[in-house]
Amino acid sequence: MSPRELARLATGIENGAPLPENLAGGAVSTYGDGATAQADGYSKSAHGRPFVKHQPFRTVCEHHLLPFAGVAHVGYLPAERILGLSKLARLVEHFAARPQTQERLTRQVADCLLERLQPRGVGVVLEAEHSCMTLRGVRATGATTVTSALLGTLRSDPRSRSEFFALAGVRA
């Protein structure tokens, strides 16, 4: 790879993907006094605990400039606002579209959901294989790094936390 190609690659990654429209503009479905948001097809009784499991992502390690890739498990406990499931996947893509650390990526997704949706709880687990561990140094092929961020009820309530980790397939 030439220096010019590397610069072009880095520039494209640093710009990032756009924040999903529903999160950027705050246009999420809102329930008031038991009303339903018909436009998005959601009803307050039907949304349960939104959870997306095994959402693939890839990014570049900001320390080594080598890729790491894995899956994200993202869920939340709605209060008054909900979000389409595809927006959860797009949110992960948004923050992964620039050089990152796995720890920061995990927290950015969780913090954004908490700030924009104001749910009762948010949970994010990322599992990834880092090229910096498989191609150099210890060459630990198959080693997976797991990070988690739990906020609100998913952090404070042991039963909710256990349920989230069970859905993600991660031992707490």
Q: What angle do CA 101, 123, 53 make, to 5 degrees?
A: 85
Positions annotated as catalytic residues are 61-64, 102, 130, 132
Q: How many CB atoms lie within 10 A of CB 36?
A: 15
Element (H, E) at 77: strand 67-77
- The CA–CA distances, whole Å, from 26 to 19, 87, 113 equal 11, 12, 11
Structure tokens at 116: 């924009």
Give the whole-angstrom CA distance, residue 98 versus residue 93.
9
CA 115/CA 112 separation, integer angstroms: 5
